[in-house]
Structure 1
Amino acid sequence: MMLALGTSLSALGGSPAFAQQGQAAIPSIHLDIPRQPLSAALQAFSRRTGIQVVYTASIDAGIISPGISGDFDAMTALSRLLSGTGVTFRQSGKGAVVLAKASANITLGPVRVGGTVAHENPTGPGVGYVATSTMAGTKTDTPIMEIPNSIYVVTKQLMQDQQPQNVAQALRYSPGIMAESEGTYGNGSAHGADTGIIQRGFSTSQFVDGLMTNSVSAGETAFLERIEVVNGPASVMYGQTTPGGMLAMSLKKPTDTPLRQVSIGFGNCGRYQATFDISDKITKSGNVRYRIAAIGVTQGTQTNYVDYHRVGVMPSITWDIDKNTSLTLLGMYMYTPGEGVASQYPRIGTLSPGPYGQISRSTFFGEPNWNKMGDKDAMFEYQFKHSFNKYINFSQNFRWENSDRHQETTYVKTGAVKPTIVPLQPMDYYTNTRTIGMDARFFGKFNIESVNNTWVIGSDFRKYNYNSHYLYDYTTTPSVNVDNPSYSYTPCYSWAHAGCQIMGSLYNTQYFQEGVYFQDQIKWKRLSILVGGRQDWVNMKYTGDSTSSNQNVNNVKTTQDYLSTDKPQPQSAFTWRAGIIYNFDFGLAPYFSYATSFIPQIGQTDYQGHPFAPLTGKQMEAGLKYKVPNKDILLTAAAFHIEEDNYLISDLAHTGYSTNAGRVRSQGFELSANANITKDLRLIASYSYTDIRYAKTNKTAKRYDLNTSSSYGTAVSQEGMSVPYVPRNMFSFFVDYTIHFGKLKGFGINFGTRYTGFTYADSVESFKTRPYVLFDAGAHYDFGQAFSVLKGLNAQLAMSNLANTYYETQCSNSVCYLGQGRRVYGNLTYNW
């Protein structure tokens, strides 16, 4: 069988061994070829490069190419396409190659061709468990080894092997991340301030395609190409981010070659899921391409009366206007009538012994007839790119988002500690969030003798509008008996009903943020220096009032303006960063960096309605990165020290409000390993140590006695105490092995373990939550490896918390959050 498409290219290398000897510069070409049968991948390769590929039918039978995405010279691209397939190649004359079966001990991986190394797409899926380039850290296409701070990538392959159902689950093995601090109390989409995701001791910030998002469904894993974890301040390039870091996600976009994939899945708790992902060209030349990804899922959860339902679609179009200009349009609509958000649990019966033993995870602490939690999300985005010349380029990203949420729910009353009866608070609320964001930047490269400069100058803005309507029913106090749950709550939310005692609140939060930034990446030989700065301006406005209706005063309504800052509240700050890293020729790269952060406390006021000062932080980080020469193995170590001022904690004297705790300090270190050891074996591992404390504060609090469920003694200072809910130690390890020979060819298994240490439960270290160890496992099978007629069909099985361990992720004096029990999910995927 022979493929001979396109025209021949001159100055080509040969086989990998031959190509390493070449010295002439070889041109690169951008390729985006997804995972697919080898024959289809080779056809796409030939069309794009003009290389003639010759092979026998036996080589093609049942073999799947891992695909590639990025800028490559022709021979490196072919090596990547053949990686892990057991097939090698040799040059056969000018512009042609011949494929052959590799011997059993040959592993094809990244190779050096003509003096250059394969370059991956910095927003693409990565290769195996390793990504070597990123856009997240610098907004430029930069090798991770040349960036002087911590960046970790969750690749597409890792998500495929672990089958996470949300962003939080996808981050379980990432260094410095406490991914599920609120257990099953949250849908894991990492939106806004309610993420439940902790990064180096602080709540995280979420960005999609370079723009901040508040969408509940922005982190749908079925629509993601990869997730990047940027640990440490990123305010210089992105504006309002916490000093702990940010999550950068890349949405799926049209591919250069056809992609056709459908999947059906099933799991415990009655989970059924279907997805499809299709991409192809619209015009004959392929300069206009489309992609449509969609998901539908329905399931119960480990908690009675709590269900999760979602349907969504994300179409996109890319138009290569000319060789220097491209435009990508994306849209998304997501309907989630059931969020799958579990209730909180009382501390007695979970962390502390209860009179009826341990409370089952299935117990629902709410009211089934007042249990509605749903969202509607819509998004439009465009990405425009233009290259003026080899020195100057332009890029602009824009996104509009609208999110509606309605919840009729009850929650466990804080401070209510009873061994058998759990009192609840009913509420009804609706929120609408609209955001508009845009980032525009010029960037390019220039050289001054032997010094290379990669520069960026840009500006961005974000407009945010948040409206909410809350109703609390104080007519009765519903409750749940721990030993024998029964539900009989009847809502009473009518202002006209004389028997209803209601408190309602309406408020609106608006802000407009704009910033200008610059950055220069200076490289001289093996030394890289990064410097950057940013000026931010923010205008904020809050308005609100509360209304109450009291049955004891003949249903007289009283209205109070509890928050009113009709005049905009301006804030501004300058943030900067600098770093240095040196790459030794044997793969080691030590680095040091310093960065500052700024984030206004939008919508946050004290009990008197006064806005808080913005959060300002700074970090020093030193570390080592080691890329094993000629191997897909990346090892990192990082030590950090972070300080943040105006940190907020709960106001113990005024329930429902916050107070300024002063300064907190977080310090620790992280170790990580990402490796494609052979074509058969991949692994990731990490260890994180985080010690976060109140460094400077005048706040005091009494300690709490679990046995008496009450405070005792005199108030003690919080200064020097640990910040609650942050584990001191975390460790994780995950390995995947695929068999490429014998009767089990195409079969793979994986195994992982996660350790999370204790956390303190209050601000004066009164008591701790327990540490826990969880085990995960999975298997996958490529049917096409054994049966050519089933080429493209794959099966996947993922199991988390194998031992069904019962654990608390976070506790306070009165309530706890429980972690996810055993989860089993399998799917069948067909690619053609």
Structure 2
Amino acid sequence: MKLEWLVSSMLLTCSMVTLGTNPTRSEEISTKEFQKQTPDSTTTSSSQQGSLSSRVQSVKSTAEIWQIPKIQRPIPNAQILVQTPTPTTPAQKIVQVTAVKANPTNKGVEVILQTSLGEQLQITNRSAVNSFIVDIPNAQLRLPSGEAFIFRSDKPIAGITGITVINFDANTIRVTVTGEAGVPTVELFDSPNEGLIFSVASAAASSQPSAQPQTQPNQSTSETQPTQPSASSDEPIELVVTGEQDGYRVGDSSTPTKTDTPLRDIPQSIQVIPRQLIKEQRITRISDALRNVSGIQEPAATTRNVFDVPIIRGFTPNSDAILRNGLRERTSSRIPSETANLERIEVLKGPASVLYGQGSLGGTVNLVTKQPLSSPYYSVEASVGSFDFYRSTLDLSGPLTSDKTLLYRLNAAVETSGSFVDFLERQRYFVSPVLTWQIDRNTKISFESEYLATQQPDDSGLPARGTVLSNPNGKIPRNRNIGEPFDVSESGNNRNVLRVGYNFEHRFNEDWQVRNAFQASLSNYPNNRIYILPTSLSDDGRLLSRTVRTFPAGGYDNTYSLDNYVVGKFKTGSIQHQIVAGFDLFREAAGGQQINRSIAPLDLFNPVYTQTLGGIIGDPSDDETTSDSLGFYLQDQIALFNNLKLLLGGRFDIVNQTYKDFIDSSNNDFQQNEAFSPRVGIVYQPIPAISLYASYSRSFQQVIGTTFDNSLFQPEKGTQYEVGIKTDLSDKVSATLAFYNLTRSNVLTDDPDPDHSGYSIQTGEQKSQGIELNIGGEVLPGLSIIGGYAYTDASVTKDTDTELVDNILNNVPKHAFTLWTTYKIAQGDLQGLGFGLGLYYVGDRQGDLANTFELPSYLRTDAAVFYERNKFRVALNIRNLFDIDYYASAQRDLAVYLGEPLTLQGTVSWEF
């Protein structure tokens, strides 16, 4: 059976299934369900740690209460100083908390963790500043469908600033209650009918005189007279139970392992751009979001094109650096992306080939989209900014049926803008509907689609002479465009992409589940697309020779991705395993007609536009490249001990590539490649707050396309070694320090032959080694930061051109750091007012692989001021606050890209 026949058959089957839309990773539930009745409960004491099972009694109308002391300070021994959950043994079963509810009481509010196994839970508690913190080991927040969620309540009662319930790690639930003036009082109840109940009162309320005596002579000081929470108000307390990560600190990610594993347990560096950051920075491009990730640099042409493929750890990916909900798709300047429907962006540093197949050695970016909500949610937003920037977005969600088994979400965006570059105008139209059907409590399917239509001419930058290098005629104005106005008015350079797919999940039991997902990405650019390329600069530095690349019949780039895998948990003796086993299929077909034409040179200092096209240069082309891949993978996450974890994985790929020349069939070509990609990692946690890790992995990537003489490229291979340390500086702040060494062979680089402009060749070998430091979270109440530093030493180690050996890879700075911080006033007359400040430093970089010129370092400053009250938000974002001239990137000596000048963007949004 031929591989291409197998791929075609299975992908065709999935295409027939896909009628609407795609995947779901987390579910958000906004609820106001607050029952006012008081459950019969048996109360327990848990001053430091106690087993609830030892205190469960027959339910009576009134029960004894054992109160957690009004924060009794623990003895400062080594264990308490660490302040971590009680270690668990692999043999202990994880208790699933399936829901969180809240009821107002005459004292404050009670928070109910619903589970039928409450008697198995143990707790530890402590205080920190104004927070009361309870850790519940051997427990996880999981919806009946198996998805993880978090609980959040902001200002539920007077004196309490917030209550959160989260999965602190893979084995622990953490409950945090924060008071305004002091540590709150928390009473613990165990209800056989409902689960675990926390009765919360503010420090001020608990200090008021009580009509009931607090102790009896024959009772210990930790006991009180029997009481019961009771409702005292008819006003509901608005709560949010959400799968959305709150703040900048993200506890887990599914991208590295295809399981919801805490980041601290993964032997690889991961960074997550949460929705909050996307909103605060008013991000509308993927490349703008990735600026916040250490070790990532802007690709060439990002500032003025739609190119979203980033440079990660020194290496520029060919095409497969970006996933969408864990499914591969080709990403290039012909396939733009939108942020309106993004929930978060997850960045996995280093290879991800074991789980996702062919991919970049430097890293992988996973775009996680918004999913339907079970309660009505509506949001509208409008922005206006510099250079005639106008943008409006819409976000709607909620149930379609009364039983909430059918949910929807609809995101839409419209954008028009100019640019600081002459006659470089953009238009974008985007819509993305999602439909989720909860078939039963264990089975769910989501359909997702999106359509993006863009109109934006390509921009080829400016020559190095006159920008970063001296030119006898002076500096070239940074608004200069070497293209032509008809590039916009006649061709429009439209790019359209339609994505459709589905995600199916079924849980057999608490330990085993299966997932099946499919996505088709259909991208095309219509007839008459025009792209003007610079070919040479005159000796006097004034006249720029150009070539016009035209696509008279348009072109296309279509991908189809199918992934099937099972996730299971089991034990071998005392050792806990979590395996992922599956296979995936991927197809890409790209092609189109191309004709190169001549055009008159352009005077860079006195341009005359509207030049007519000249004759045809060279031979026209009309071709198609198709790639089919089949991969089998297996991964095992092994908990040897509670603090020692091993990750083993392997993958076998079969990849076919076919090249068809529709003009001269003698150029047709075919090749097949096979590869095995291993992955090994280990994590050791001397104390729960610190993870030491080491890993080894390999990558494999078939390179799509041909050289100038129509020869197919050989597969690219890579190897990574990485060691590092991850730490939770607090329950709201985490940091990672990583050291890595990468080796990459068969790398694509620009063809240095001026007659082969726009084509690539493969050089020998490149290496990158470096250090990365990342930090993110809420360092002080209201003050949040996300930032990182990267040292990158990337160079050519082998090449057919010996003059390139030891050269530094272009666009890769030795030193770079990024920092974004916000402060939000939480109380008083200015409550809701916030400020943001961003610093982005990029060191000196080489402008081309030959190292003939250098891009100077720069420090860009961004700022923001915003006001948010009652779900109404107004914001002003300022990029390049001090209006510095800087160079974002370069492709070669004729293509240097300048960064945008001072740019303002005002936004008004309303959620209801």
Normalising by structure 2, report the TM-score: 0.75
Counterparts of 2:258 and 2:429, CA distance in 1: 32
**Which position in structure 1 is the counterpart of 2:877?**
798
Partners of 1:351 and 1:424 lie apart in 2 by 21
Match of 1:398 among 493, 505, 518: 518
Query: Are 1:361 and 2:478 counterparts?
Result: yes
Give the SS at the match of 1:415: strand
Q: Secondary structure at the match of 2:279?
A: helix
Match of 1:808 in 2: 887
Distance apart, 1:14 and its partner CA: 9.6
| 1:672/1:687 contact within 8 Å kept | yes
Contact 1:64 1:85 in 2 (8 A): no
Contact 1:129 1:158 in 2 (8 A): yes
- What is the CA-CA distance between 1:352 and the residue it aligns to? 1.5
The answer to whether the Cα contact below 8 Å between 2:301 and 2:460 also exists between their aligned partners in 1 is no
Q: Does the CA contact (< 8 Å) of 1:450 and 1:525 recur in 2?
A: no
Contact 1:410 / 1:424 at 8 angstroms: preserved in 2? no
1:4 pairs with 2:34 = yes
Shift of the 18–162 alpha-carbon distance from structure 1 to 2, 3 Å rule, reads farther
2:441 matched to which residue of 1? Answer: 323
CA distance in 1, matches of 2:617, 2:159: 69
Matched, 1:721 2:807: yes
How is 1:524-563 mapped onto 2 (pairs within 5 angstroms)? 524-544=641-661, 563=667
Q: Does the 8 Å CA contact 1:217/1:334 hold for their aligned counterparts?
A: no
Q: Which residue of 2 aligns with 1:488?
A: 610
Counterpart amino acid of 1:802?
A: L
Q: CA deviation at 1:651?
A: 3.3
1:580 Cα deviation after fit: 0.4
Indicate the SS of the match to 2:288.
Answer: helix
Tell me which of 726, 736, 751 is aligned to 2:837: 751
Deviation of the 1:448 alpha carbon: 2.6
Match of 1:444 among 558, 568, 580: 568
- Name the counterpart of 1:574: 676
Q: Structure 1 residue 621 and structure 2 residue 738: aligned?
A: no
Q: Tell me how far 1:575 sits from its aligned partner.
A: 0.5
Does the alignment pair 1:650 with 2:750?
yes
In structure 1, distance between residues paired with 2:911 and 2:417 = 25
After superposition, residues 332-481 of structure 1 pair within 5 angstroms as: 332-336=450-454, 338-339=455-456, 341-371=458-488, 372-406=492-526, 408-417=529-538, 418-429=540-551, 430-474=554-598, 477-481=599-603
- State the SS of the aligned residue for 2:780: coil
| Matched pairs, number | 748
Question: Quick check: 1:771 aligned with 2:865?
Answer: no
Instruction: Quote how far apart the aligned CAs of 1:11 are.
Output: 7.6
Alignment of structure 1 residues 196-215 onto 2, 5 Å: 196-203=310-317, 205-214=321-330
Q: Structure 1 residues 83, 719: CA separation in 2 closer, same or farther (over 3 Å shift)?
A: farther
State the partner residue of 2:211.
none
Q: 2:734 aligns with which of 634, 637, 641?
A: 634
1:823 alignment partner, one of 876, 883, 903: 903
**Is contact 2:804-2:849 (8 Å) kept?**
yes
Give 1:684's aligned amino acid. I
Q: Deviations over 1:31-55 (max 9, x none)?
A: 699xxxx99xx9999899999xxxx
Is the counterpart of residue 145 in structure 1 residue 264 in structure 2?
Answer: yes
The 5 Å alignment of 1:53-92 reads: 79=176, 90-91=186-187
SS at 1:202 equivalent:
coil
Q: Which amino acid aligns with 2:282?
A: Q
**Contact between 1:628 and 1:634, CA under 8 Å: does it hold in 2?**
yes
Distance 1:67 1:316, change over 3 A: farther
Q: Which residue of 1 aligns with 2:122?
A: none
Structure 1: 5+ residue stretches without partners: 105-120, 493-498, 547-559, 701-716, 785-790
How far is the alpha carbon of 1:328 from its aligned partner? Answer: 0.8
Task: Give, in whole Å, the separation in 2 of the partners of 1:122 and 1:537.
Answer: 43
Q: Aligned equivalents of 1:454 and 1:674: distance in 2?
A: 28
Whole-angstrom CA distance in 1 between matches of 2:592 and 2:438? 42
Tell me the distance in 2 between the aligned counterparts of 1:743 and 1:305.
Answer: 46
| Counterparts of 1:72 and 1:763, CA distance in 2 | 44
2:394 alignment partner in structure 1: 276
Q: Is the Cα–Cα contact under 8 Å of residues 536 and 544 in structure 2 kept in the other structure?
A: no
Give 1:238's match in structure 2, choosing from 356, 367, 384.
356
Aligned partners of 1:692 and 1:14: how far apart in 2? 60
Residue 34 of structure 2 aligns with an amino acid whose one-letter code is A
Q: What SS is found at the alignment partner of 1:795?
A: strand
User: In structure 2, how many angstroms separate the alpha carbons of the residues matched to 1:664 and 1:57?
Assistant: 51
Answer yes or no: is the 8 Å Cα contact 1:697–1:718 preserved in 2.
Answer: yes
Give the distance between the partners of 2:365 and 2:722, measured in 1 at CA: 18
1:423 Cα deviation from its structure 2 partner: 2.5
AA matched with 1:152: Q
Q: Deviations over 1:575-602 (max 9, x none)?
A: 0010101122251111110000100112
Offset of residue 687 of structure 1:
0.7
SS in 1 for 2:278: helix
Aligned residue for 2:228? none
Q: Which residue of 2 aligns with 1:254?
A: 372
The one-letter amino acid paired with 1:276 is L
1:167 and 1:205 mapped to 2: Cα distance? 12
Give distance in 2, aligned partners of 1:32 and 1:682.
Answer: 26
Aligned pair in 2 of structure 1 residues 368, 387: CA closer, same or farther (>3 Å)? same
The alpha-carbon deviation at position 370 of structure 1 amounts to 2.8
Shift in alpha-carbon separation, 1:500–1:176, aligned structure 2, 3 A:
closer
Shift of 1:526: 0.5
Alpha-carbon distance change, 87 to 594 in structure 1, aligned in 2, over 3 angstroms: same
Counterpart of 2:35, as a letter, is L
1:287-342 Cα distance to aligned partner (Å, 9 max, x none): 22111111111111111211111111111111111111111111111111x23644
Is this contact kept in 2: 1:774–1:805, CA < 8 A?
yes
Match of 1:506 in 2: 622
Conserved 8 A contact 2:156-2:162: no
Going from structure 1 to structure 2, the CA distance change for 1:520 and 1:218 (only over 3 Å counts) comes to: farther
Conserved in 2, the CA contact under 8 Å of 1:32 and 1:256? no
C-alpha contact (below 8 Å) 1:287/1:320 kept by paired residues: yes
CA distance in structure 2 between the partners assigned to 1:288 and 1:47 by the alignment:
25
1:124-175 C-alpha deviation (Å, 9 max, x unpaired) = 5422001110100011110000000111111111111111120000011101
Inter-CA distance 250–18: structure 2 relative to 1 (3 Å threshold) = farther
Task: Give, in whole Å, the separation in 2 of the partners of 1:762 and 1:156.
Answer: 35
Does residue 286 of structure 1 match 2:387? Answer: no
Q: Deviations over 1:227-285 (max 9, x none)?
A: 01111111011101111111011011112332211111111111111111111111212
C-alpha contact (below 8 Å) 2:299/2:889 kept by paired residues = no
Closer, same or farther: CA 98–66 of 1 in aligned 2, 3 Å: closer
SS at match of 2:596: strand
Deviations 1:689-708 (A, max 9, x none): 111112223313xxxxxxxx
The structure having more radius of gyration, on CA atoms, is 2
Distance 2:544 2:407 in 1: 56
Change in 2 beyond 3 A, CA 1:351/1:537: same
Change (3 A) 1:322 1:586: closer
Matched, 1:136 2:255: yes
Seen in structure 2, the aligned counterparts of structure 1 residues 77 and 505 have a Cα distance that, compared at 3 Å, is same
Aligned-residue offset at 1:486: 2.3
Asked if the contact 2:164/2:175 (under 8 Å) is kept, the reply is no
* 1:127 match: secondary structure: coil
Q: 1:672 is matched with which residue? A: 774
Two-structure CA RMSD over aligned residues (Å): 3.7
Match of 2:796, SS state, is: strand
Match in the other structure for 2:301: 182
- Change in 2 beyond 3 A, CA 1:527/1:693: same
Identical aligned residues as a percent: 27
Q: CA 1:345/1:66 → structure 2, altered by over 3 Å: closer, same or farther?
A: farther
